[in-house]
Structure 1
Amino acid sequence: MILSIQNISKSYGNIKALNGVSFEVPQGAIFGVLGPNGSGKTTLLSIVVDVLKADNGSFLWFGQPGSPDTRKKIGTLLETPNFYHYLSAFNNLKITNSISSRGNISDINLVLEKVKLQERKDSRFSTYSLGMKQRLAIAGALLGSPQVLVLDEPTNGLDPVGIAEIRDLIKELSLAGHTIIMASHLLDEVEKVCTHVAILKKGTLLMTGAVDDVLIDNDIVEISASDNDSLVNILRSYNGYDQVILEKGFVQIHLPKGSARPEEINAFCFSKGITLNHLVIKKKRLEAKFFELTNN
């Protein structure tokens, strides 16, 4: 495991920012820390990169406690990037290199190439789009060739084009061998980019694991008949459903992803003496799943 977090807690006065959070980040993952604003994401990332100190709990990087050598393997972007607007990308990264002592001057062209800013390296920062500015910030985090990148809301405030650029960049960096840990409050971002996820709500870990397991999408078959109450009753004996509910004049059968067989449902109802007048397959939106997890 690249990162193991054990029972981390953090309070600010009476506010419990983190409440015994534990999970592990496997090597090579794009790991999303997902939750609404105020769920403790930034606090957690700040603790594991030694910006904040936890009240309780511990964490291990590469199986070891944090150390100066360990921190050299981790590139971070936790705040809005601060660059000099009148300087070029190259000269801004020279200053970043000087302050952080990460990498050397020869690394600058390499990281600019990685984030696809090589052709604009001599352009002033003030001429960059928001997406380009964020890519330059990630370039700064890449100085010194870290094994791990820790990114806090890397697409925050970007337009759709900028978001797509950062998503593609994160995937490319992962393919190049970097493990990436990123916080986000956007489910769509995590679904499209991440391989693993931990979901936080008010400092408490709700679920963690592979994205396909945690954010699994249910099949929904929506049906109706002249007597929906009777329809609900007979469906209780139908095999394989997760949930049967009556909603807005229709009966919804929730089933495990990929298991919906509408022809079987129709035949089952007919065998019980009920003729359906409506049958539609729906997909339960992942946003609804996330809403359920974070609002119960």
Structure 2
Amino acid sequence: MDNILEIKGLEVDIAMKAGILHAVRGVSFCIASGETLCLVGESGSGKSLTALSILGLLPPNASRRTNVATFVGQDIAHLSERQMQDLRGRSIGMIFQDPMMAFNPTMTVGRQLEEVYLRHIKRDKKAARAKAVELLSRVGMTEPEGRMTQFPHQLSGGLRQRAMIAMALMCEPKLLIADEPTTALDVTMQAQVLSLLKSVQASFGVSILFITHDLGVVAAIADRVAVMKAGRVVEIGDVYQVLKSPRDDYTRALIAAVPKAKPLIASQARSVIGSVGHV
């Protein structure tokens, strides 16, 4: 399969009062068309910064360098901010970790979904509304017409996450970046969100970069997994190989740290999703 995203030698430095923090150091990976790659590691390992650097959403005190950064063959390392704005939401969708913080609390959910469509597709508002209602329905929202008029705070955490996924899909992107989308959810809701993402992937043929610290989630959704430690990728490979026969001491330590009850999450996710194949 052709690679939809290729990153080589990614470096992210953050200017601090005490000096330069080398937050991401020499990270390299690729994602094939239709594939799910999980970035896994403990908090502070550089997972989210890696994802944000791809979209050019780093904080002002951070700088990015990379040897290669291509998306569908296009060099994205040297795009202007205007060019990146055209890419974000249109070709690359982002599912943020906390949808309550990502949504604008002063705007209805429907208006925010429509805004993405109108910015990139250049159709009329009627078409944008129809697309939003369709996607809210497809991600399992009951009464999608009514949900369009609600504000983010009127939705439960699980419904907000579904609305966030719908917004990321408004322009049918080729790549979804999901930054710990199941972290704040209970086990049952985690399994439902994972099932939804697998269904979305099958329907839209989208590739997914999935960021998590949860190895149960990795087992349920990943095709391949990249393990990050202190800003570096220490191991990358097929999910079955990495989880069953890890080569790096840090990967082995992560697996050993999983509570004994943790496999139930992967088991429940698989029961909702169906057969995951190689896991």
1:17-28 correspondence to structure 2 within 5 Å? 17-28=23-34
> Could you say if the C-alpha distance between residues 102 and 213 of structure 1 is closer, same or farther in structure 2, counting changes exceeding 3 Å?
farther
Aligned residues, how many? 226
Aligned to 1:276: none
Tell me if the contact between 2:40 and 2:215 (Cα under 8 Å) persists in the aligned partners.
yes
Tell me if the contact between 1:149 and 1:180 (Cα under 8 Å) persists in the aligned partners.
yes
Tell me if the contact between 2:46 and 2:228 (Cα under 8 Å) persists in the aligned partners.
yes
Which range moves more in the overlay, 149-158 or 59-68?
A: 59-68
Deviation at 1:187, TM superposition (A): 0.9
Aligned to 2:36: 30
> Could you say if the C-alpha distance between residues 111 and 182 of structure 1 is closer, same or farther in structure 2, counting changes exceeding 3 Å?
same
Deviation at 1:199, TM superposition (A): 0.7
Aligned to 1:83: 103
Is residue 184 of structure 1 aligned with residue 212 of structure 2? yes
For the residue of structure 2 that corresponds to 1:39, the secondary structure is: coil
- After superposition, the C-alpha distances for 1:27-73 in whole angstroms (9 at most, x for unaligned) are 11111111110000111001111223513433111122126465531
Identity %, equivalent residues: 27
Deviation at 1:213, TM superposition (A): 1.7
Aligned to 1:151: 178
Aligned to 1:4: 6
Deviation at 1:4, TM superposition (A): 0.7
Is residue 135 of structure 1 aligned with residue 159 of structure 2? no
Is residue 114 of structure 1 aligned with residue 120 of structure 2? no
1:196-235 correspondence to structure 2 within 5 Å? 196-216=224-244
- After superposition, the C-alpha distances for 1:231-287 in whole angstroms (9 at most, x for unaligned) are xxxxxxxxxxx9xxxxxxxxxxxxxxxxxxxxxxxxxxxxxxxxxxxxxxxxx9982
Q: Distance in 2 between matches of 1:120 and 1:160?
A: 25
Q: Distance in 1 between matches of 2:211 and 2:36?
A: 11
TM-score between the two structures when normalised by the length of structure 1: 0.68
Q: Distance in 2 between matches of 1:73 and 1:182?
A: 16
Q: Distance in 2 between matches of 1:146 and 1:118?
A: 24
Tell me if the contact between 2:133 and 2:144 (Cα under 8 Å) persists in the aligned partners.
no
> Could you say if the C-alpha distance between residues 103 and 38 of structure 1 is closer, same or farther in structure 2, counting changes exceeding 3 Å?
farther
For the residue of structure 2 that corresponds to 1:101, the secondary structure is: helix
The one-letter code sitting in structure 1 at the alignment partner of 2:34 is G
The one-letter code sitting in structure 2 at the alignment partner of 1:83 is F
Deviation at 1:215, TM superposition (A): 1.6
Q: Distance in 2 between matches of 1:102 and 1:151?
A: 22
The one-letter code sitting in structure 2 at the alignment partner of 1:141 is A
Tell me if the contact between 2:39 and 2:211 (Cα under 8 Å) persists in the aligned partners.
yes
Tell me if the contact between 1:88 and 1:122 (Cα under 8 Å) persists in the aligned partners.
no
Which range moves more in the overlay, 103-112 or 84-93?
A: 84-93
Aligned to 1:169: 196
**What stretches of structure 2 of length at least 5 have no aligned partner?**
260-279
Aligned with residue 47 of structure 2, among 41, 50, 59: 41
Aligned with residue 101 of structure 1, among 77, 98, 120: 120
For the residue of structure 2 that corresponds to 1:54, the secondary structure is: strand
Aligned to 2:272: none
The one-letter code sitting in structure 1 at the alignment partner of 2:91 is K
TM-score between the two structures when normalised by the length of structure 2: 0.72
Bigger Cα Rg: 1
Higher RCO (Cα < 8 Å, 6 or more apart): 2
> Could you say if the C-alpha distance between residues 103 and 147 of structure 1 is closer, same or farther in structure 2, counting changes exceeding 3 Å?
farther
For the residue of structure 2 that corresponds to 1:122, the secondary structure is: helix
> Could you say if the C-alpha distance between residues 130 and 41 of structure 1 is closer, same or farther in structure 2, counting changes exceeding 3 Å?
same
The one-letter code sitting in structure 1 at the alignment partner of 2:74 is Q
> Could you say if the C-alpha distance between residues 217 and 289 of structure 1 is closer, same or farther in structure 2, counting changes exceeding 3 Å?
farther
